[in-house]
Amino acid sequence: MQGIVVGVDGSENSLDALHWAAAEARLRSLSLRVVGTFTTPIMSTGYELAVPDPADLQSAAETTLSAAVDVVREAGELDGIDVAVEAVEGHAGERLITLSRDAELLVVGSRGHGGFIGLLLGSVTTYVVNHAECPVVVVRHT
């Protein structure tokens, strides 16, 4: 088992999820795996295709994750917890489901950056709740 997996996309909801997951990891003496995802879009300008460098996208995702982890670390919430931070390519929901196979708990925020304002749950959160292979905690932004 890999402990607690938390999905982070840089939104306030995902930062709340990270705070909650850190507290739970400390309470249960578990490791914490902080995961963010990125996808490589293909953009068409009519006659040409533009594909961003996946390394740049991964770097941006890693920067977002590091900033979130730094906030929680500076609050002292990660002291004594084994923390792994990883940016992975792919659809967020699918990647989190894959990681849920070996996790004791999967933690996500109720909403991320995308989607429609006013929905109670974002599309990734809904996907994860319906397909995860471990217990899921959805943290609502306060």
This model's pTM is above 0.75: yes
Residues in the chain: 142
The string of pLDDT tens digits covering residues 48-78 is 777 788 888 899 999 999 999 999 999 999 9
Range of the domain at 111: 4-41+49-139
The string of pLDDT tens digits covering residues 91-130 is 999 999 999 999 999 999 986 545 444 444 468 898 999 9
State percent of the chain over pLDDT 90: 70
CA angle in degrees (0–180, nearest 5) for 7-9-14 = 65
Give CA separation, 31 vs 34, 35, 126, in Å.
10, 13, 25
CA atoms within 13 A on the CB side of 22: 25
DSSP H helices in the chain: 12-28, 54-74, 92-100, 123-131
Total number of domains constituting the chain: 1
CB 40 within 8 A of CB 51: yes
CB 61 within 8 A of CB 38: yes
Residue where the block lists tokens 């997951």: 21
Cα distance between residue 78 and residue 75, in whole Å: 8
Give CA separation, 101 vs 64, 65, 134, in Å.
25, 22, 7
The string of pLDDT tens digits covering residues 27-48 is 999 999 999 999 887 777 777 7
Say which CATH number the domain at 133 has: 3.40.50.620
CB atoms < 10 A from the CB of 117, how many? 5
